[in-house]
Chains A and B, each alone.
Chain A
Amino acid sequence: MEAQELPCVLIDCIGGKHGVYEDHAEFLKERFCLITMKEYLENKNFLGKKIRAIYMWYHKPVINEELLQSLPNLKIVASSGVGIDHLDLSLLSSYGVKVSNTPFIVSTDTADLGMALMLASSRRLVEGHQMAISPDTEYFPADWLGAEVSGATLGIIGMGTIGYKVAERAKAFEMKILYHNRKQRNKEEERAVGATYCKKIDDLLQQADFVMLVVNLTPQTHKLIGKRELQLMKPTAILINISRGLVVDQDALVEALQNKVIKAAALDVTYPEPLPRDHPLLKLKNVIITPHIGSATVKTRHLMKENMTESIQAGLAGLPIPNEVLL
């Protein structure tokens, strides 16, 4: 197939901090005519009409009204990852542009990271490693202890695809599992993972040794965990966030950690990312922060690319779109 017959897809750039990976670009170029933002801006009039899809990697390129107005033949935006809080869905819909994400492919990696953070925090893994390699360490003290994960109570807030996979994993550690969700899951699903529904979030917060946030970011979940919720938690409890930074009132979290209202936190997500270098969360000993790596594995990123490609191809062919995000 000649290059000009391949459908034109807009991407931000290839390589660098946030660009499409070089090896992914090779795959995409076999199927699409890739146009970078730089190329587009240099030749807006000609290229604008040709672009039929946007391949959005790491939330780039940023889509605003101006861009939508200059892409009259845009049919679909494929966004990497499951979160779509960075997209204005109403705006896109008003231009007749469809949206897809990659909800299922990220679910096992994200659940795995939730488990990794819970175990690392509970067993003080990062602190322990620092002690093991520190030039000042002469012996390992006997009174240095963590807390057990096996047999403890895990409260999952948000029992969607990812939350449920967390429950499947936690069950193998013989954890007692509580969950809070917009909708209760059916009895078989609950029984399969031994999870108990808490209609009131307060009940979950008061009983859990570990509280894990696995919700989408929506206006309803914005600052879901604030001062009140943190105070309901046990002083021995650990908060784990693998959803979005804005689900937590960060200032309230800092205060709660400093005052030992809760024991520790483990955050894959913050607001913003990265945090400013003088932010108090960076200095607290009882906090583990990871750089938003919930889906950061080689295999999953390949599968994301494949999923997004399928969605674009279906969207351009007028076929049902896998992983379409509906308003």
Chain B
Amino acid sequence: MGQRPIYVMAEQDLPGLLIMGIGGTHGVQESLAALLKKHFSVITMKELLENKKEVGKKIQCIFVSEFRPTIDQELLESLPNLKVIGNSGVGVDHLNLKMISNFGVRVTNTPHAVADSTADMGMALMLASARRLVEGSQIAVSPDTNYFAADWLGVEVTRATLGIIGMGRIGYKVAQRARAFEMKILYHNRNRRSQEEEQAVGACYSEMEDLLQQSDFVMLVVNLTPQTEKLIGKKELGLMKPTATLINISRGAVIDQDALVEALQNKTIKAAALDVTYPEPLPRNHPLLKLNNVIITPHIGTATVQATHMMAEEAIANMLSVLNCQPIPSEVFPQ
């Protein structure tokens, strides 16, 4: 068997890929840029803007990471050879899928790469909230602390009831983790999972109302779509137990934020832990920032070294499959 010749593609033969930038607070990490450069001729927004006519023609793909670059009509019009937008992350609510489709451009996301780290974040927020970890850490380091009070208590996670709203890939991984804490698991989803899948994690399918009324922890793990916008509003918060905690690892707009503020202030529910808000960051005078029964994290559900690498790799595989006319692992379509 003869050895196959190895072709090293010259950089200019590689398909052009547009990214926001490299490094800094808004660009793609250096190590990820290096990964992209193995398969693409990487072009930054700055380079495109300096020479739109010439450079625009070269771009066949866009790598969207942390919602950048923004995809608008003007950008799409300047990229006549654009074939695919590879989004890093699973949520695509920041992309106008219909508009992009009208340009004949495909969109892909990274549902596999995000699952473990986002499920971990959901568990982290549930545990931190239940055990008052942030408050506790503030007491432990406060200059005013001279003793630890005996009657300063949180609530149990083990054997409590967790209601998962949205039992997709991430929701299911949350259930797998919660099961190890002997939690009673209820879930609500567009489609019911199979009996085997339910039994494997000990999850019971519930109607929304039942889930809200019975859960000690309600975790939102849905996509943001027109159907899930403000899924949790005044009515839903009113159905929850006054001892319950709401955890959001989906999108800020899934919750009616004003209704949430009111519910937290009036003790309709006990606490909230939010990795996502609308907008991000919240305005600095927003009431959510001042409530001591709220933990907010800066949308870090996939902010790990490992997850960001896996997302880039998944996006690369998706984009290459489009360019090579192969089956596309994770294409998303307008609703």
Contact = CB atoms under 8 A, between A and B. Distances in A.
A324 interface: no
Interface size class, chain A: 35 or more
A115 B130 CA distance: 12
Contact of B304 (A57, A120, A147, A299): A147
B140 A57 contact: no
Nearest to A142: B66
Nearest to B129: A116
Contact of A119 (B127, B136, B155): B127
A319 interface: no
B154 A169 contact: no
B186 interface: no
B117 to A, nearest CB: 6
Interface string B99-132: 0000000000000000011011101110110111
Contacts of A171: 180
Interface residues of B, number: 69
Contacts of A290: 131, 133, 136-137, 140
Interface in A104-127: 108-109, 111-113, 115-117, 119-120, 123-126
Interface stretch (B22-30, B33-41, B255-263): B22-30
Interface in A1-55: 17-19, 21
A151 interface: yes
Given A18-B150, A109-B156, A116-B124, A148 B304 contact: yes
A168 interface: yes
A95 B294 CA distance: 51
Contact of B281 (A57, A137, A151, A291): A137
B158 A109 contact: yes
Contact of A172 (B157, B176, B282, B295): B176
A90 B194 CA distance: 59
Contact of A291 (B148, B155, B297): B148
Interface stretch (A71-79, A128-136, A225-233): A128-136
Given A124-B300, A293-B132, A148 B117 contact: yes
Interface string B34-76: 0000000000000000000000000000000110100000000
B25 A142 contact: yes
Nearest to A293: B136
Nearest to A152: B306
A58 B149 CA distance: 10
A125 B281 contact: no
Interface of B: 23-29, 65-66, 68, 116-117, 119-121, 123-125, 127-128, 130-134, 136-137, 139-141, 143, 145-159, 176-177, 179-182, 280-282, 284, 289, 295-300, 303-308
Interface of A: 17-19, 21, 57-58, 108-109, 111-113, 115-117, 119-120, 123-126, 128-129, 131-133, 135, 137-151, 168-169, 171-174, 273-275, 277, 282, 288-293, 296-301
7 contacts: A21-B150, A112-B131, A119-B123, A124-B300, A133-B289, A140-B281, A274-B148
